[in-house]
Amino acid sequence: MSTVATTQIKLTPEHARPRTSVRGRLQDALPKIVLAPSFAITVVFVYGFILWTIYLSFTNSKTFPSYAITGARAYQRLWNWTFDTDPPSSWYTSITNMGIFGFLYILICLALGLFLAILLDQKIRGEGVLRPIYLYPMALSFIVTGVAWKWFLDPGLGLEQTLHQWGWTSFHFDWIKNKDFVIYTVVIAGVWQASGFIMAMFLAGLRGIDGEIMKAAQIDGATTFQLYRRIVIPLLRPIFLSAFIVLAHLAIKSYDLVVALTSGGPGGSAWLPSNFMYEYTFKRNEMAVGSASAVIMLMTIVAIIVPYLYSELREKPR
């Protein structure tokens, strides 16, 4: 991928002279000095802030932060709210939605992405046109995606109305206004946006497979289906892992899409934990509860990402 041009190195002779000791030491420390600001920023504004959030979650901060530790009350409150109330508590709605959304979003994106990649890998004429069409939604913001799909799924204006005009008057599709189904519209819009990118990842993986292996299997009489099931898909395992990480990470962070597509849904029925956190922290003045939910989100990500990063960075010791 990288083509390194032959570089003309012009050096002025004055730099060739031996260093004085102070200057030399400064030179030796220079790389670390250059890296230090970025590292310090990361330590303070990422790790320091995370600790701060964790701290706040153990206080009883409301509108303003309070710094007296009052124990795990915020967490108890989160988990005490149950389904028994009607409607179920926002936190339970949020985590149930997270489960539904995360599961379907990841599963459908992986399946659709792989399927499209395999189709596109069949020596398709016009691949150069189709690929960018599948992928462009990734360039849009969640807000734009949400606005577009909100219109498309609106019963009075979009799909339902259109099919009614075409004569299918019994067609009924009001998920976006239905508190039990609104989360599935978030899945549809989310899949629409990310599946093309997953397709591109799989396609890159398919193109990297050695053609000899495929030929050998075909000579042995494998059908196309067997070829993919037994040989190609197992070879794509690393891509599955990367794609899963990307999707899981996107799913847990999804916030904008719910806001733009559903405005939170009827009675907050489309909330994800990210929306819960935002609402409780900034709108309902329950800072400690909001922080506790943020900590739970972070822990979920940590459980997924840290083993992955650890193996990625450790595999290639230098």
Partner 1 sequence: MSAVTTPARQASGGMNVKLVNRIVIYGLLALFALFYLMPLFVMLVTSFKTMDEIQNGNMLSLPKAPTFDPWLKAWGETCVGLTCAGIKGYFWNSIKMVVPAVLISTMLGALNGYVLTKWRFRGATLVFGLMLFACFIPFQSVLLPMATILGSVGRFGVTLQNSIGTSFGLGNSTVNLVFVHVVYGIGFTTLFFRNYYEAFPTELVKAAQVDGASFFQIFRRIMLPNSMPIFVVTVIYQFTNIWNDFLFASAYAGTGDAMPMTVALNNVVNTSTGVVEYNVNMAAAMIAALPTLLVYVLAGRYFVRGLMAGAVKG
Q: Which of residues 75-134 bind partner 1 (CB under 8 A)?
A: 116, 119-124, 130, 132-134
Q: Which stretch binds partner 1 (CB under 8 A): 67-75, 81-89, 178-186, 251-259?
A: 251-259
CA angle 277, 283, 289 (to 5 degrees): 40
Residue 144 is encoded by which pair of tokens?
């734009």
User: Is residue 246 at the binding interface for partner 1, with CB under 8 A as the rule?
Assistant: yes
Q: Which residues ranging from 174 to 233 are in contact with partner 1 (CB under 8 A)?
A: 192, 196-197, 200-201, 204, 207, 209-211, 214-215, 218-219, 224, 227
In sequence order, the 6+-apart residues with CB closer than 8 A to the CB of 27 are 19
User: Is residue 268 at the binding interface for partner 1, with CB under 8 A as the rule?
Assistant: no
Complex with partner 1: residue 100 or 144, whichever CB lies closer: 144
Q: Which of 25, 49, 70, 234 contacts partner 1 by CB under 8 A?
A: 49
Q: What one-character-per-residue DSSP string does 52-77 give?
A: HHHHHHTB--SSS----B--THHHHH
- Nearest approach in angstroms of CB 122 to partner 1 is 6
What distance lies between CA 38 and its chain's CA centroid?
24
Please check whether residue 66 is in contact with residue 58, taking contact to mean a CB–CB distance below 8 angstroms: no
Please check whether residue 177 is in contact with residue 266, taking contact to mean a CB–CB distance below 8 angstroms: yes
User: Is residue 144 at the binding interface for partner 1, with CB under 8 A as the rule?
Assistant: yes
Phi/psi at 59 (5° precision): -110, -175
Q: Which of 70, 76, 82, 141 contacts partner 1 by CB under 8 A?
A: 141
Complex with partner 1: residue 107 or 124, whichever CB lies closer: 124
Please check whether residue 271 is in contact with residue 101, taking contact to mean a CB–CB distance below 8 angstroms: no
Q: Which of 69, 72, 111, 143 contacts partner 1 by CB under 8 A?
A: 143
Complex with partner 1: residue 69 or 306, whichever CB lies closer: 306
What distance lies between CA 106 and its chain's CA centroid?
9
User: Is residue 68 at the binding interface for partner 1, with CB under 8 A as the rule?
Assistant: no
Q: Which of 25, 162, 180, 229 contacts partner 1 by CB under 8 A?
A: 162
Q: Which stretch binds partner 1 (CB under 8 A): 72-80, 85-93, 146-154, 178-186?
A: 146-154
- Classify residue 167 as left (phi > 0), alpha (psi -120 to 50) or beta: left
In sequence order, the 6+-apart residues with CB closer than 8 A to the CB of 11 are none
- Nearest approach in angstroms of CB 123 to partner 1 is 5
Q: Which of 30, 72, 107, 216 contacts partner 1 by CB under 8 A?
A: 30
Q: Which stretch binds partner 1 (CB under 8 A): 82-90, 97-105, 177-185, 299-307?
A: 299-307
Please check whether residue 236 is in contact with residue 208, taking contact to mean a CB–CB distance below 8 angstroms: no
